[in-house]
């Protein structure tokens, strides 16, 4: 299943309109997202040292996310965009609210959230590419395959950790994610809803 098929809703056209008119903010927040994605993978590696498969898969993923961070910084430098602080979106924090606190449920839910975030990143790269200049569109199309692979890694790990089917947990998080993507947000961010 592709990330686009996995998600409940596509990116709203109004978000795309806002994104293409404020590429500086989008790229800065994209750089932040890549850093956070690497940090999430590393955090899971530290927390779950007994999970051999998780260790190997997330080590590779973290390195790839940091490479993407470096690539986004390079794109920004070429375009004269200064890397500055922008406030984070509330998307991931809101998506993590239903994560259960007991194990292994906590790990399963956290991995499902990771899969959804990666799926949305992939979907946004696909949605944005037709509206961007050739160089940036090519860059985002290149990242799309990586994000799809990361989605598969997280979802596969969640399924491998669980002793029973996780479909209902996936549904819970996908329903929430849809509402976050369709809502109105005060500011444009890579994973925000539609900006005011």
d(CA 110, CA 140): 26
Average pLDDT per block of 10 residues along the chain, 196 residues long: 94 97 97 97 97 95 97 98 94 96 97 98 96 96 92 96 95 98 96 93
Tokens of 152: 């598969």
Quick: pLDDT tens for 29-46.
999 999 999 999 999 999
pTM: 0.96
**Which tokens sit at 72?**
């986004």
CB 190 within 8 Å of CB 23? no
What are the structure tokens assigned to 91, written together?
Answer: 């998307």
Q: Does domain 10-195 have CATH number 1.20.1260.10?
A: yes
Q: Judge whether 147 and 114 are in contact, CB under 8 Å.
A: no
Tens-digit pLDDT profile for residues 66-93: 999 999 999 999 999 999 999 999 999 9
What are the domain boundaries of the chain?
Answer: 10-195
* DSSP secondary structure letters along 81-118: ------PPPSHHHHHHTT--SSTTHHHHHHHHHHHHHH
Q: To which H or E segment does residue 185 belong? A: strand 184-185
The answer to whether 124 touches 11, Cβ cutoff 8 Å, is yes
Residue 118's Cβ-side half-sphere holds a number of Cα atoms within 13 Å equal to: 28
Q: Report the pLDDT value the prediction gives residue 1, as an integer from 0 to 100.
A: 84
Nearest to 170 by CA among 116, 118, 120: 116
What does the pLDDT read at residue 196? 86
Quote the tokens at residue 131.
């509206």
């Amino acid at each position: 299943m592709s990330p686009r098929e996995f998600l409940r809703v596509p990116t709203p056209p109004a978000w795309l309109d806002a994104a293409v008119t404020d590429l500086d903010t989008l790229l800065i927040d994209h750089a932040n997202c890549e850093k956070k994605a690497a940090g999430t993978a590393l955090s899971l590696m530290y927390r779950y040292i007994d999970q051999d498969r998780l260790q190997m898969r997330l080590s590779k993923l973290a390195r790839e996310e940091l490479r993407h961070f470096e690539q986004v910084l390079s794109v920004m430098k070429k375009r004269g965009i200064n890397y500055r602080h922008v406030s984070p979106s509330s998307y991931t924090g809101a998506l993590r609210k239903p994560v259960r606190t007991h194990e292994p449920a906590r790990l399963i839910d956290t991995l499902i959230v990771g899969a959804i975030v990666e799926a949305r990143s992939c979907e946004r790269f696909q949605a944005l590419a037709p509206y961007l200049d050739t160089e940036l569109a090519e860059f985002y199309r290149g990242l799309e395959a990586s994000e799809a692979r990361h989605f598969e890694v997280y979802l596969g790990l969640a399924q491998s950790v669980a002793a029973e089917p996780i479909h209902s947990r996936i549904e819970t998080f996908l329903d929430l994610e849809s509402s976050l993507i369709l809502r109105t947000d005060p500011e444009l961010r890579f994973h925000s809803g539609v900006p005011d």
